[in-house]
Amino acid sequence: MTTAQAVKKIEKDFDINAIFAPHVLRHTKGDIDPVIIQKIIDEKAKPFVKWVGGKRQLLKQFRELGLYPPEGFDASKNTYYEPFVGGGAVFFDLLPKTAVLSDMNNDLVVTYNVIKNNVEELIKSLKKHKHEKEYFLKVRARKVSELSDVEIASRFIFLNRTCFNGMYRVNSKGEFNVPFGDNKNPLICDEENLRKVSLALKNVSIKTEDYKNVLKKAKKGDFVYFDPPYFPVSKTASFTAYTTGSFLEKEQIELRDTFYELHKRGCFVMLSNSDTPFIKKIYSELKDKKIKINIVQAGRSINSKGTGRGKITEVLVTNY
């Protein structure tokens, strides 16, 4: 069996993506032993925060549609960009050799960097937290500007694990305001996974910056995945409070223009958004045969009548 055939076999038999499969093969030293392969897959780093809009459940569907990862993307030569990284579900699925991650949420970005550079200090700090409402409120009220980076990361992970539904929402002053959650036994310090994440981030750059900065850096052949705050499905369904800035019509059009610039440059571009007439309209305005608006089933369901559960759809726009 050639290396290419072995990679394809691993991809298919173990249901993993085409970027991670060669990495698995390298670590088995060419020997396709299913037990060893499964062990490597099970030991992979996972997202360390729960993030609204996390893409984990959707990736299998993207792969089955032949849209992910893009066939022409050569991860051994080119760079993967994820400028709305959030929990990083796609980054952790791909584990590419070179990646540039960014987000406007500074506490989140500080946390990524502390895990990358100072994971043992962070683990020590996380072990000191208590799972009590009073304590949660005290930690939530702390001023980030007065904390060290390790303290910011420790507070961020603690709040994410113990707040209501792992949500992230800030008020107009940028203060985290999600209430205490009802999870009886949250895993505040998943030290094994944090160490794996630290290793996975070794060659990765993570910055607090606006997504538009990707335009300054991405080159032909690079792969850019955009997972922005979604355009609201209805006026009441709006959930765009990850940061203090809003992300509505004007911002969605600017993002569409960035998508098109990267397309013209020869990057592979993939973008998720809600399946709404506005989003479909702005991408169909591009009138370029290569740009496709694919409809996918969203992993979550809506429950408008209390009992009826319906699947909702979202779009995956690609230029390949």
Ligand X SMILES: C[S@@+](CC[C@H](N)C(=O)[O-])C[C@H]1O[C@@H](n2cnc3c(N)ncnc32)[C@H](O)[C@@H]1O
* Positions in the binding site for ligand X (CB under 6 A): 51, 53-55, 83-84, 86-87, 89, 103-105, 210-211, 227-229, 242-243, 245, 247
The minimum distance between CB 120 and ligand X, in angstroms, equals 25
Q: How far apart (Å, rounded) are the C-alpha atoms in residues 310 and 251?
A: 29
Q: Which of 308, 298, 302, 255 is nearest to 279 (CA)?
A: 255
The minimum distance between CB 256 and ligand X, in angstroms, equals 14
The minimum distance between CB 86 and ligand X, in angstroms, equals 3
The minimum distance between CB 316 and ligand X, in angstroms, equals 12
Half-sphere exposure of 169 (CA within 13 A, CB side): 14
Closest CB to ligand X among 7 and 111? 111
The minimum distance between CB 53 and ligand X, in angstroms, equals 3
Strands of 310-318's sheet in order across: 204-208, 99-103, 80-82, 223-226, 268-274, 310-318, 292-302
The pair phi, psi for residue 202, each rounded to 5°, is -50, -45
Count CB neighbours of 162 within 10 A: 24
The minimum distance between CB 179 and ligand X, in angstroms, equals 20
Closest CB to ligand X among 186 and 299? 299
Half-sphere exposure of 294 (CA within 13 A, CB side): 22
Q: By Cβ distance, which residue is nearest to ligand X?
A: 86
Residue spans of alpha helices (H) in the chain: 3-14, 20-27, 34-42, 59-64, 89-94, 106-126, 133-141, 149-162, 191-200, 214-217, 249-265, 277-284
The minimum distance between CB 210 and ligand X, in angstroms, equals 4
Q: How far apart (Å, rounded) are the C-alpha atoms in residues 264 and 251?
A: 20
Closest CB to ligand X among 101 and 291? 101
Closest CB to ligand X among 69 and 87? 87
DSSP state at residue 223? E
Closest CB to ligand X among 22 and 53? 53
User: Would you put residue 49 in left (φ > 0), alpha (ψ -120 to 50) or beta?
Assistant: beta
Closest CB to ligand X among 1 and 253? 253
Yes or no: say if 54 and 160 are a contact pair by the CB < 8 Å rule.
no
Closest CB to ligand X among 210 and 285? 210
CA atoms 247, 248, 250, 254: torsion sign: positive
